[in-house]
Amino acid sequence: MVRACDELGDTWGYKLFGTRTIITRDPRNIQAMLATQFDDYKLATDRDAMHQLLGTKGIFTQNGQGWKNSRALLRPNFDRAQVAELDRLELFFEQMHRRIEAVAGENRCVEMQELYKKLTMDSSSDFLVGSPVGSLFPDADDKGGVSSQTFSEAFDVAEVTIATRWALSNLYWLYSPKRFRVACAAVRGMIRGYVVESLQVRAEKKKGQNRYVFLDALADTTQEPQVLQDQVLSVLLAGRDTTSALLSWTTLCLSRHPAVQNKLRAAIAATVGVGASAKIPTQEELRSITYLKWVLNEVLRCYPPLHANTRCARVPTTLPYGGGLDGNSPISLMPNEKVVYSSFCLQRRKDLYGEDADEFRPERWGEEKIRKIGWAYIPFNGGPRTCLGQQLALTHASYFLTRLLQTYDVLEEDPEFEGLDIKYDSKINMSSGRGVHVKLA
């Protein structure tokens, strides 16, 4: 469960079975772990709980030299991907549009969270392996004997089980139900199919399609099938649900804040038109819509998809603040002691953001005060391990939201769900526990 931790202070700890865990929402501590004392810390055992799905050779689960090698391997591919064309995204938007029209009955109400998960599964897999595997395209080619529908479902089963394994901390290995093992095998088998194909195409020196495909670009640097498979899975996990969570929370916020929605629609209309005069936006046009940036920044502040994260000490070290009677002294940490940091709690601190910290108010991103916010805003992390897909995620989210507002004049909350308090569903990512039920017309 996510909750604000005002009553507990900014840094506190608890002991379970003799093991101490520190919880912090102090930006100075977070900066130390992620940047200034980076080498003293490593990923906590939570990531080992993901090995069955992700393998051990992908960036998301590695530490030390292995991680450095992965980062150096993947980074140039992200730099190249930033210039990828948006025309592929339009295919997926059109497909989602069709799905909306198919399910919106007379009352025009649709649950968008599940649709966004399918959308981002398709757009991510298309970018990563060159072919959409999700269920927006039920007739997509099947690889590895697994249908596209099964792939999405298997990925979901694996993610849900990993969240339960996380709750067991160091004892995660006790929980490995058969459905989890089957799901991981299905997902890995399908990605392996794409890897084999990509390597064969290279071996036969066939000219592939001209467009950018992450796996093929990676195969220019390494031909080790295990590395290719694990890296693709790491990036799929890192990028898919995070982007769909951003889209979902933004849609919910826009449906609940008509004034923000009207302002955003006007900004979009002025740049790329809406309704009959709408044109497909370019990257430059999307980047130029300042208010869209503010809205996304504010959604990521109030509803960070990765709402909490962990690190543990690699060597004897310190957290700079939280110790002593006044909390201003360092806390010493022994190797493997764990620190949980919550971007959700951090980004709602009233002493940092003001009394209206719990309010959704995109305008704050135009104010002077926010420019100095620094380590108090970390939806994409910071330091050497900062998110590699940040620009990509913001481009994709900007594109899909712009197209949605260009297409529909009405985006309102489904009357059945209107005014209900927000319910959080915090697994690997934080999603809306009630879904995102809106009326689109």
* Binding-site ranges for ligand HEM (CB under 6 A): 59-60, 71, 235, 238-239, 242-243, 246, 305-306, 309, 379-381, 385, 387-389, 392-393
- Provide the minimum distance between the beta carbon of 181 and ligand HEM in the complex, in angstroms, as a whole number: 25
- Provide the minimum distance between the beta carbon of 129 and ligand HEM in the complex, in angstroms, as a whole number: 12
Q: 26: closest CA among 358, 372, 339?
A: 339
At a CB cut-off of 8 Å and minimum separation 6, what does 306 contact? Answer: 242, 343, 379, 381, 428, 429, 430
- Provide the minimum distance between the beta carbon of 243 and ligand HEM in the complex, in angstroms, as a whole number: 5
- Provide the minimum distance between the beta carbon of 60 and ligand HEM in the complex, in angstroms, as a whole number: 6
Instruction: Please name the residue that has the structure tokens 């603040």.
Output: 321
Residue 440: phi and psi, rounded to 5, are: -120, 125
> CB-wise, 274 or 286, nearer to ligand HEM?
286
- Provide the minimum distance between the beta carbon of 224 and ligand HEM in the complex, in angstroms, as a whole number: 18
> CB-wise, 86 or 235, nearer to ligand HEM?
235
HEC secondary structure over 361-393: CHHHHHCHHHHHCHHHCCCCCCHHHCCCCHHHH
Q: Please give the Cα distance from 55 to 231 (Å, whole number).
A: 9
> CB-wise, 134 or 412, nearer to ligand HEM?
134
- Residues 405, 267 contacting (CB under 8 angstroms): no
Instruction: Region of 18 please: left (phi>0), alpha (psi -120 to 50) or beta.
Output: left
Q: Please give the Cα distance from 365 to 27 (Å, whole number).
A: 19
> CB-wise, 202 or 385, nearer to ligand HEM?
385
- Provide the minimum distance between the beta carbon of 420 and ligand HEM in the complex, in angstroms, as a whole number: 25
> CB-wise, 55 or 305, nearer to ligand HEM?
305
Decide: helix, strand or coil at residue 130.
Answer: coil
> CB-wise, 29 or 243, nearer to ligand HEM?
243
Give residue number: closest CB to ligand HEM. 389
- Provide the minimum distance between the beta carbon of 355 and ligand HEM in the complex, in angstroms, as a whole number: 26
- Backbone CA torsion sign across 287, 290, 295, 298: positive
Q: Please give the Cα distance from 377 to 348 (Å, whole number).
A: 10
> CB-wise, 250 or 317, nearer to ligand HEM?
250
